[in-house]
Amino acid sequence: MKKLSPASKWLIVAGARPNFMKIAPLIHAIRESNARNARISPVIVHTGQHYDKVLSQIFFDDLGIPEPDFNLGIGSGSHAEQTGRIMIAFEQVALAQNPDLVVVAGDVNSTIACALVAAKLSIPVAHIEAGLRSFDKTMPEEINRILTDRISDFLFTPSRDADENLRKEGIAAEKIFFVGNIMVDSLMLIMKHIHKSRILSMLGKILDHHTGYAMITLHRPSNVDDKRTLEQVLGCIKELSRDMPMLFPVHPRTAKQINDFGLGRNITWLDADYHIMRGQNASNIYGLPPLGYLDFVTLMARAKVIFTDSGGIQEESTVLGIPCITLRENTERPVTVTEGTNTITGNDPEKITGAFIRAISPGEKSIRSIPALWDGKTAPRIVEILASKYFSAQS
Ligand code: UD1
């Protein structure tokens, strides 16, 4: 077995909810690799882009991620403020730590901010989930993806279409590594633990007399920042909820917009113990606080259908074989449509309704195929590729 010499230090960056399930498997894979002789020192940097317990700490707990070595405590702000503050704070950490590598994941503001700092300090950058493109530059994440990929040295892609996107943008083939979808590593890990979740029994009173339920997640600016759009989406889903209760863990951004726009009447709100709040029975849409990963996956795994504008949920539902209705005009994850269970409807009520009716029709085949290398072994593949770059020639 080859030995690492000298020990290499990797700064692993996470900032927002969808990052945590992407770095957890990597940290576990580094530990396993170290147990087999590698000498990698992972240093976890949490930018603090997400700071609420329900968007952050609960994922560290559910996924067994060690406490971050650094928490930059950045918090919310406009895109420029948030990105700029992350860059300034991360530069200090990168200078003091002098790592061999910076690893970033996904497409959030923390991803581009830290990649840019590292690139300017001539520290190699590894990007996990590289190459995804919605071809929609009105999405802040699309800009983050394009720029992060442009300055990364190791581009780890989840699907072949991502390789193709990178090649078309002129990225050298030797920087691109098709390794599969790292989120699936986390999903497979948590699926072994869903028997520990109490969420189904806590929601028992609401779900008991129904044969099934649907789930909703919404947080994209394109759905929640405009009153008329949000009202139309909630109105449509409220109609559909007559057939089936809908569980809606509400992102803080969406909760604020629903409140500011006076649209709360569409939703029956549950408290932190999942009891219906006094005087509430507005509809069969049940608004709950954001959920941790264990509880969320437990509910998703049994849902009849899921409405979402998230990226990761399109992928998770494909693996779980749950029909997914994506309330966006496009997706950067086309394999979830061509191979998986995903239907893109935008926020047009007619299209949403049609997709819902098809999804709940008896005989509708939900499990299609699981994309290549979405097999729960992506993180070890990444660690092996990266470690080999830092191995000395000695055996
Ligand atoms: C961010 C990511 C998005 C990802 C999403 C998952 C970017 C550009 N967007 O969007 O890609 O899908 O995370 O959640 O990076 N807030 C809280 N508590 C928190 C964090 C945020 O209340 O812990 C509220 C604040 O009002 C904040 C708003 O949510 O202004 C938006 O947070 P922000 O991190 O800017 O973007 P998200 O919408 O969460």
Model confidence pLDDT, tens digit, residues 121-146: 999 999 999 999 999 999 999 999 99
pLDDT, residue 393, reads 38
pLDDT, residue 202, reads 94
Helix (H, G, I), strand (E, B) or coil at 12: strand
Distance CA 338, CA 395 (A): 44
Q: Which protein residue's CA is at the shortest distance from atom 3 of ligand 1? A: 108
* Ligand 1 closest atom vs CA 109: 15
Helix (H) or strand (E) holding 151: helix 140-151
pLDDT above 90 (res 37):
no
Q: What pTM was estimated for this model as a whole?
A: 0.96
pLDDT above 70 (res 391):
no
E strands of 225-272, at which residues? 246-249, 268-269
What is the β-pairing status of strands 285-288 and 268-269?
parallel
pLDDT, residue 279, reads 73
Q: How far is CA 77 from the centre of its chain?
A: 20
* Ligand 1 pocket mutation pick from 22, 76, 256 by most atoms within 8 angstroms of CB: 76
* Ligand 1 pocket mutation pick from 104, 107, 114, 219 by most atoms within 8 angstroms of CB: 219
Mean pLDDT of 320-334: 97
Mean pLDDT of 240-266: 96
pLDDT above 80 (res 1):
no
Indicate which residues carry an active-site annotation. Answer: 219
pLDDT above 90 (res 254):
yes
Q: Which protein residue's CA is at the shortest distance from atom 12 of ligand 1? A: 310
Mean pLDDT of 343-347: 97
pLDDT above 80 (res 101):
yes
Q: How far from 361 is each of 303, 314, 324, 358, CA to CA, in Å?
A: 14, 20, 14, 5
pLDDT, residue 171, reads 98
The phi, psi pair for 206, rounded to 5°, reads -80, -35
Ligand 1 and 219: CB distance under 6 A = yes
Instruction: Give DSSP secondary structure letters for 289-322.
Output: ----HHHHHHHHHH-SEEEE--SHHHHHHHHHT-
Looking up tokens 């809606």 gives 248
Distance CA 152, CA 248 (A): 36
Task: Name every residue whose Cβ is closer than 8 Å to that of residue 2 and which is 6 or more positions away in sequence.
Answer: 37, 388, 391, 392, 394, 395
Distance CA 103, CA 125 (A): 6
Q: Which protein residue's CA is at the shortest distance from atom 27 of ligand 1? A: 76
